[in-house]
Amino acid sequence: MADQIKPATVAVHAGRPPREIDQALNVPITMASTYVAGGDKEYGRYANDTWSAFEEALGALEGGKALTFASGLSAVATILDLVNDSVVVAGQSYQGTIGQLADLEARGRLTARLVDITDTAGVVAALDDDVALLWIESPTNPGMALADLPALIAAAHDAGVQVVVDNTFATPLLQQPLALGADIVVHSATKYLAGHSDAVMGAIVVPDTDEGRALWDVLKGRRDLIGAIPGTMEAWLALRGLRTLSLRVERAAANAADLAARLAEHPAVEEVRYPGFGGMLAIVLRTAEAAEAVTHATDLWVHATSLGGVESTFERRRRWKTEDQNVPEGLIRLSVGIEDVDDLWADLAGALDRL
């Protein structure tokens, strides 16, 4: 049964307690720092039933075995901690990931080679003998660039390079990197998975194979050791959010497609970067000042960082000093929510019209 049901059903049903009389339908928020000795839980840094329920549900959605972390970036750090060679990484990726790589490089731990992830031949050419890992984001944050995942994964494996895909923007409903052969999927569960802008959490998913399970054990060992664990409340919220992932992504994606088309017609918009799926897009306005003005002139769209919530948010990414200098000054990243699309358009178009 579990192998045949569709992702929208998996999101609702996976990670539930056993169906027994008087059993709650939902996993409880287990507040515990320690457990009666003699079992395999032992201590609150090693195990928690609320985390496990979220891991079961996310693992089922991605088609692998999941492990939760305190944040997306602690999941990223845990993976990068295992690498000693070069990493080839999509430029215009999430600045926190690039920041970690730059920090590790500055301390002589590894070298990071930034590539244009849309240039498949260029990326493949960068995969030489020194490279341990290919780090892909697709779509990239905030560049909205798309990678040819099947081609890159195949080429990386030919070169003996492992592949990580940050699947935060696409979600497992729109893109399943493990099914395409990726070795590791990483998520900021803060975004679409939890989906309500009320929890910070991360996750790693690996294939449910002998090799994948061995890697899961290594990653779990690292999590035990460094304590990059989520709070129980966060795990519960993320699982609660995951139940409606399919509805939220469907509506956000439909709204984003509609807005992308309307934005392309607006004279103040120089460029629309819309990957053709999902709820994220970016627009480029002529100047930083124009972009700043728009992000301060709406009633519904919230000027805020982060993404993937039910509410529509947007921001000029270059307001962050840490953002890639190749990201245009006038680029606004939009995280389209699940509101009525006509209301979203009226609010946004009003701000653009007033420029």
Question: Active-site residue numbers?
Answer: 45, 94, 166, 191
How many other CB atoms sit within 10 Å of the CB of residue 304? 15
User: Residue 284's beta-bridge partner residues?
Assistant: 271, 331
Nearer to ligand PLP, 146 or 293 (CB): 146
Q: Is residue 191 at the binding interface for ligand PLP, with CB under 6 A as the rule?
A: yes
How far apart CA 90 and CA 194 sit, in angstroms, is 25
Q: Is residue 188 at the binding interface for ligand PLP, with CB under 6 A as the rule?
A: yes
Mention every residue, 6+ apart, whose C-beta is less than 8 A from residue 94. 72, 137, 140, 141, 166, 168, 188
- Cβ atoms of 167 and 139 within 8 Å: the answer is no
Q: Pick the piece of the chain touching ligand PLP (CB under 6 A) from 4-12, 170-178, 184-192, 272-280.
A: 184-192
Chosen residue from 131, 200, 282, 338 binding ligand PLP by CB under 6 A = 200
Q: Is residue 71 at the binding interface for ligand PLP, with CB under 6 A as the rule?
A: yes
Residues 86-125 vs ligand PLP: string with x where CB under 6 A? --------x-xx----------------------------
Dihedral of CA 228/229/233/239: which sign? positive
For ligand PLP (CB under 6 A), the number of binding residues is 16
| CB of residue 231 to ligand PLP, shortest distance in Å | 13
Chosen residue from 48, 86, 176, 190 binding ligand PLP by CB under 6 A = 190
- Cβ atoms of 238 and 231 within 8 Å: the answer is no
Q: Is residue 73 at the binding interface for ligand PLP, with CB under 6 A as the rule?
A: yes
Nearer to ligand PLP, 159 or 302 (CB): 302
How far apart CA 346 and CA 326 sit, in angstroms, is 31
How far apart CA 231 and CA 239 sit, in angstroms, is 12
Binding site for ligand PLP (CB under 6 A): 71-73, 94, 96-97, 137, 141, 166, 168-169, 188, 190-191, 200, 202
